[in-house]
Amino acid sequence: MRKIFEHSFFPPMNLERVVIDGKRHYATPTGEKYPSVTTVLDQKTDKTALLEWRKKVGEAEANRISTQAANRGTAIHNIAEHYLLNNESFPKGSMPANIDTFRKLRPIIDDHIGKVYGLEYYLYSHTLKTAGATDCIAEYDGINSIIDFKTSRKLKKEEWIQNYFLQATCYAMMAEERLGLEIPQIVILIAVDHEEPQVFVKPKSEFISKVRELFA
């Protein structure tokens, strides 16, 4: 028997995507055009390891792997979104490999996620001057959280995924600014090939100062 999730959705906040100098931005209801959270993090955080990896495997192979990873991540996110929406046909049309990957995440979702406030929810901040869409705003172990779904070919070390924590913290800060909902916690759920999922639960307070530094 599958779990039925309680919903307490905030009104949708649709933002228009625009491209400025080749970078994704969002137009706010009041007319500002803010860069996406990922655009800012890409520009302001160290990319040495990524550049070295691309050089090692070659541009063509790096592009192939990156595209494949992006497509898979989108597929898993879509399955999770439909599942949290209580859609009975949530895996319909998905590739068997992606359905199998989601099955590993499902017990964690069932056991820990409670009331859901928003899915693929658009946010922006006049303070941080950024915008974007967060995967999930929901209770996790009874605590209001930003929950981000990721996929990976191998297990991740915490020092490799600092941008994940910064991204989620930024969304938490934007949600508090826009929705007035206190969000003290961020959660990263990573589905890993041939391994059990990784779960990272962190206090938002651990990353606030770094977010303010990057998004000043």
Residue 213 has pLDDT above 70, yes or no: yes
81 against 14, higher pLDDT: 81
Domain that holds residue 194: 16-214
- Which strands sit side by side in the sheet containing 185-192, from one edge to the other? 113-125, 130-140, 143-152, 185-192, 198-203
Number of domains the chain is built from = 1
Residue 126 lies in a domain: yes
Does any domain span residue 8?
no
**18 by DSSP, 3-state: which?**
strand
Residue 3 included in any domain:
no
Closest CA to 73 of 171, 211, 193: 193
Name the phi and psi angles at 33, rounded to 5: -120, 105
**Burial classification of residue 174, based on how many CB atoms lie within 10 Å of its CB (0-12 exposed, 13-18 middle, 19 or more buried):** buried
CATH number at residue 112: 3.90.320
Residue 1 inside a domain? The answer is no
Q: Quick check: is 5 in a domain?
A: no
As a whole number of angstroms, the longest Cα–Cα distance in the chain is: 50
Q: Which pTM does this prediction carry?
A: 0.92
What average pLDDT does range 55-81 have in this prediction? 79
- Assess if residue 6 is contained within a domain: no
Query: Does 27 map to a domain?
Result: yes
Specify if 29 maps to a domain.
yes
**Residue 17, pLDDT above cutoff 90:** yes
